């Protein structure tokens, strides 16, 4: 393996199994929906990639698979993280290098305080490495406060996540992965619901992080600013993988795929 490659996806397919009601007597049928077809790409260490595509294109399904959160039996093909196959055997070890932020922050936050949610991944990682700092209250407190401060959340560590605003939940969800500093960040729609100040600060924050990042987004202005490389998905297939700056100015291509120009170009192209 080339030492510079951190993620390899080879012929990845993923099928959802769903049960549908077929008549008034509540008869049901089981159906399979192939949400990803033959996905292939390679990510070099430190790359910043946007994944864009219309609703239902498969963006979340792809990120969930990369994070090892989808059942292995429903997929075929291979995902390699740092040269190791992401399977049930390697998952536990590979996960410590991956920070995944769900599209819906309610899927991420499960503790009774924001503090516990942000501390959770860090304490787990330190325990796994038998690092005594897992029990050092001062160390954990500083790390949690630093993560919360990096996403502009102050003084809410004792609040119940359930009662935060949706935008605050998105920021807290981000802090839960920043706290343990994984090498790979997979973020699903991170900027949605952020106010302009938080969105601007978030862009500055991730631009300053030396990490491999793959971000699914509908915010094409954000994609234009954040990433050199863009992958476009449509109907479960990669229909473009290349330079962000050229594809996000291609009005005809974007419109043919239910996308549109970034707002900054709307009246210019």
Ligand X SMILES: Nc1ncnc2c1ncn2[C@@H]1O[C@H](COP(=O)(O)OP(=O)(O)OP(=O)(O)O)[C@@H](O)[C@H]1O
Using CB under 6 A, list all residues that contact ligand X.
16, 18, 33, 35, 53, 55-61, 103
Nearer to Mg ion, 50 or 145 (CB): 50
* 221 contacts: CB under 8 Å, gap ≥ 6: 262, 263, 264
CB of 55 to ligand X, least distance (A): 4
For 213, the enclosing helix (H) or strand (E) is strand 212-216
Nearer to ligand X, 119 or 194 (CB): 194
Whole-angstrom distance, CA of residue 165 vs CA of residue 171 = 10
SS3 (DSSP) at 137: helix
CB of 141 to ligand X, least distance (A): 35
Residue 35 interaction partner, one of ligand X, Mg ion, none, beta carbon < 5-8 Å per kind: ligand X
Nearer to ligand X, 140 or 261 (CB): 261
Phi/psi of residue 75, nearest 5 degrees = -125, 155
CB of 63 to Mg ion, least distance (A): 8
Task: Show contacts with Mg ion in window 208-227 (CB under 5 A).
Answer: none
Residue 128 interaction partner, one of ligand X, Mg ion, none, beta carbon < 5-8 Å per kind: none
CB of 52 to Mg ion, least distance (A): 11
Cα separation values, 157 from 28, 61, 137, 141, 195, Å: 45, 31, 14, 10, 20
Nearer to ligand X, 114 or 259 (CB): 259
Residue 212 interaction partner, one of ligand X, Mg ion, none, beta carbon < 5-8 Å per kind: none
> Which residue blocks in the chain are alpha helix, DSSP H?
59-66, 91-94, 114-128, 137-150, 166-178, 196-208, 220-226, 244-247, 251-256
Q: Which of 60, 90, 159, 181 binds Mg ion (CB under 5 A)?
A: 60
Whole-angstrom distance, CA of residue 177 vs CA of residue 186 = 10
Nearer to ligand X, 58 or 121 (CB): 58
Which of 235, 219, 267 has its CA nearest to residue 34? 235
Nearer to Mg ion, 60 or 159 (CB): 60
Binding residues for Mg ion, per CB under 5 A?
59-60, 103
């Amino acid at each position: 393996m080339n030492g510079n490659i951190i993620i390899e996806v080879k012929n990845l397919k993923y099928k959802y199994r769903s049960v549908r009601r077929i008549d008034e007597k509540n008869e049901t049928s089981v159906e399979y929906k192939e949400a990803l077809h033959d996905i292939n790409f390679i990510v070099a260490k430190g790359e910043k990639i946007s994944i864009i595509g219309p609703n239902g294109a498969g963006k979340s399904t792809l990120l969930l698979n990369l994070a090892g959160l989808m059942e292995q039996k429903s997929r075929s093909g291979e995902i390699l993280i740092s040269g190791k196959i992401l399977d049930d055997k390697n998952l536990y070890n590979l996960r410590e290098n991956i920070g995944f932020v769900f599209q819906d922050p309610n899927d991420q936050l499960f503790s009774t305080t924001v503090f516990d949610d942000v501390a959770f991944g860090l304490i787990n990682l330190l325990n796994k490495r038998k690092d005594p700092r897992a029990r050092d209250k001062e160390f954990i407190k500083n790390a949690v406060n630093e993560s919360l401060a990096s996403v502009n959340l102050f003084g809410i560590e004792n609040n119940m996540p359930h009662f935060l605003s949706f935008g605050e939940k998105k920021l807290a969800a981000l802090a839960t992965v920043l706290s343990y500093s994984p090498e790979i960040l997979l973020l699903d729609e991170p900027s949605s619901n952020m106010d302009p100040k938080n969105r601007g600060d978030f862009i500055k924050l991730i631009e300053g992080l030396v990490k491999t990042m793959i971000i699914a987004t509908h915010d094409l202005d954000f994609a234009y600013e954040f990433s050199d490389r863009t992958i476009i998905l449509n109907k479960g297939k990669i229909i473009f993988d290349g330079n962000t700056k050229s594809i996000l100015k291609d009005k005809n291509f974007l419109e043919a795929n239910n996308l549109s120009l970034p707002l900054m170009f709307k009246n210019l192209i």
